[in-house]
Chain A
Amino acid sequence: MTEAATRASASGGAAATATPILSIRQVIKRFGQRPVLRGITLDVASGEFLTILGESGSGKTTLLRLIAGFEDLDSGEIWMGAERLDRIPAHRRQVNTVFQSYAIFPHLSVFDNVAYGLRAKNTAPTEIPERVTKALAMVKMGEFAQAAPAKLSGGQQQRVALARALVNRPRVLLLDEPLSALDANLRRQMQVELKSLQREVGITFIFVTHDQEEAMALSDRVALLRAGLLEQVAPPREIYGEPATAYAAQFIGQTNLLRAEVRDGIATAGSIVWRTFGANGAATYSLRPECIRVVAESESASPRSPDVTIPRFRGRIRNQSCGGAMDLIEIDCGAPSTIRARIPSPGILTGEREFEFTANDAVRVREGEPE
């Protein structure tokens, strides 16, 4: 996998071959003097589950609110199909939102909540009960139609919010951190349900979260947002296996950042030397902990000539802790920071040992501010 390919995915081109359902072009948004979104360009494919992932303050909720119409953008355009979306007021966009706080109307029953959008658009009264019932059944809240929202649990309210949005058959569904208030088990359950729901209805989902595990589990593509700019947009496997930047590598999963000097196809970082591609000079590489293997003591004892495609390095075991299926080993090999490795069932490692990895697993990443 080359660096060039990873750079191409930054503009979100990889998945969209047909006309994108949503096209965000150079969108800039400021709050007062503070820039929150500094030029977002992104195409969303019809029927995809796209997650906007970022820390708090990265601008992800703001981007969502711009699509929904609760904020006005300062410059740029948002297109839905052939229509200019950002010129249309919020209540006329074919976009629906599931709010982080659910925003269920407390003075209306569950049924009336779900029917609200249908009634607002003057849907035929004969059609309403059927559509509402179907929507509630889809989120497994069929028996709660006449319930008062105040009596529902958080998870139940969230399902009602989902049904209320979906019943309108929007072209795009926006979800603003809908699972963040649920406890871990309920959250995992809802993730599974959401994913299968999306496949079932085939609507484009744009999902906002700060939880990278959630993003990886649910999405067709992940758009990593950092300080108002897109760091990388790619499917989960790609963003994990071929992170474009050091930030992406560190935000999603864990990694080791090796700062190396590259000369004529060889990268050197301290005592670690491996084969690489790309220009000479200083470069940073991301090496995932699970890519590092421990060399058997017997093998280690007999020296072999250095192989730059399967580089080896020696290091002192600093710490070893149990991480379930794998142990987390901290290795001190003279580099400025310790190397972290995840090794399955290594037994107790002591003193100095030799480790190895496959050169191709070291991915060259860009460091610094997003451009």
Chain B
Amino acid sequence: MSAGFQSRRAPWLLRVYAFLVYAFLYFPIIVLVVYSFNGSGVGGFPPAHWTIDWYRQLFTDSALWDAVLNSVMVAAVAVAIALGLGLPAALALDRTDFPGKALFRRLVLLPLILPGIITGLSLLMLFVAVGMKLSLVTITLGHGTALISVATTEIFAGLQKLERAQEEASLDLGANHWRTFWRVTLPNLRVSLIAAALLIFTLSLDEIAVSFFLIGRENTLPLEIWSRLRRGITPEINAISTLILIFSIGMILLWYRLRTRLQHAEESAAPLVPAAIQGESA
């Protein structure tokens, strides 16, 4: 990639346009945050007096915090399920061949592209059919299932970057498959696993489509916000939304940093490890 071409000034029209697109993407977010400090409510213009009353109200709102706790628990277990099944799934896709593998791959990745309500509805029908009552458990099962695809994709990408010869070297030196998996494969997948966990946790916290149908008596945070919305919009919702935004932005940035670190590690090792030599069958 020639640096000379890159640093060429973009036509001013393009620059302005790019800026406007960013503005469009961030405008609602900024409005939301600004109005969470607005004394005179959610709408109108311009925002009047500055206050943190809405945040103060938040902290005494026990129903909301119950929902937050529920969401965190669900998300944590969902991460466990998604990683616990996504890791073998990624390994299976990377290393094995069996009849129906293509079907398996599509099935695993389907929830990613299918509208969430279809997955949610189908699971609802399953639980009804087996007579299981709807609760946080059913929501957790739903999240875990839907997010296996995210885990599989992330871990699979990490597996592609893993040098196969390292596992062969481990076997060669006398370690059996189990030991090789713990001592060589997993440490090399560490960054992918953490990145996947972050992403799944964040997605689970925000999940609505699947949760909508699997909800029992206890609410997750998005559903709690949703039920309040139906009663009317209040700046308190702006406040909690702002907090959610800050949290998820933090997680996303962390995830991104991990991802790029993984890429850079691979690139900087290149001069040390002979390139284009792996997997040469001669």
Contacts and interface: CB of A to CB of B under 8 A. Distances in A.
Interface string B153-185: 000000000010110111111111101100110
B163 A116 contact: no
B44 interface: no
A348 to B, nearest CB: 44
A56 B281 CA distance: 8
Interface string A339-366: 0000000000000000000000000000
B272 interface: yes
Given A91-B175, A150-B269, A62 B274 contact: no
Classify the secondary structure of A's interface with B.
loop
Interface in A56-101: 56-62, 68-70, 89-92, 95-97, 99-101
Contact of A150 (B166, B174, B175, B272): B272
Contacts of B278: 100-101
Given A116-B170, A164-B173, A56 B179 contact: no
B165 A101 contact: yes
Contacts of A154: 271-274
B188 interface: yes
B174 A181 contact: no
Nearest to B175: A120
B282 interface: yes
Most buried by B among A59, A70, A91: A91
Given A61-B282, A105-B170, A120-B176, 20 more contacts: A31-B281, A61-B280, A61-B281, A68-B168, A89-B176, A91-B175, A99-B169, A103-B168, A104-B166, A105-B184, A106-B188, A117-B173, A121-B174, A150-B269, A153-B272, A154-B271, A154-B273, A164-B169, A164-B173, A168-B173
Given A56-B280, A168-B173, A101 B273 contact: yes
B212 to A, nearest CB: 43
B88 interface: no
Interface in B31-46: none
Interface in B244-282: 268-269, 271-274, 277-278, 280-282
A136 interface: no
B84 interface: no
A224 to B, nearest CB: 14
B166 A103 contact: yes
Interface in A92-142: 92, 95-97, 99-107, 116-117, 120-121
Contact of A103 (B165, B175, B179, B183): B165
Contact of B172 (A68, A100, A150, A153): A68
Given A107-B187, A152-B272, A97 B282 contact: no
Interface string A24-66: 0000000100001000000000000000001111111110000
5 contacts: A57-B282, A62-B281, A62-B282, A103-B163, A103-B165
Contacts of A153: 272
Contacts of B176: 89, 91, 120
A210 interface: yes
Contacts of B273: 101-102, 154, 157
List of 9 A-B pairs having minimum Cβ-Cβ separation, nearest first: A117-B173, A181-B274, A103-B165, A120-B175, A103-B169, A120-B174, A56-B282, A61-B282, A107-B187
Interface of B: 163, 165-166, 168-177, 179-180, 183-184, 187-188, 268-269, 271-274, 277-278, 280-282
Contacts of A101: 163, 165, 273-274, 277-278
Name, among B180, B183, B278, the residue most crowded by chain A CB atoms within 10 Å (CB to CB): B183
Given A57-B282, A120-B174, A105 B274 contact: no
B172 A91 contact: yes
Contacts of B274: 100-102, 154, 180-181
A70 B168 contact: yes
B282 A99 contact: no
A91 B176 CA distance: 6
B282 to A, nearest CB: 4
B175 A100 contact: no
A117 B174 contact: yes
Contacts of A164: 169, 173
Contacts of A107: 187-188
B282 A54 contact: yes
Contacts of A54: 282
Contact of B272 (A99, A157, A161): A157
B171 A91 contact: yes
Nearest to A156: B272
Contact of A36 (B168, B171, B180, B281): B281
A45 B168 CA distance: 26
A301 B179 CA distance: 80
Contacts of A210: 282
Contacts of A56: 280, 282
Nearest to B186: A107
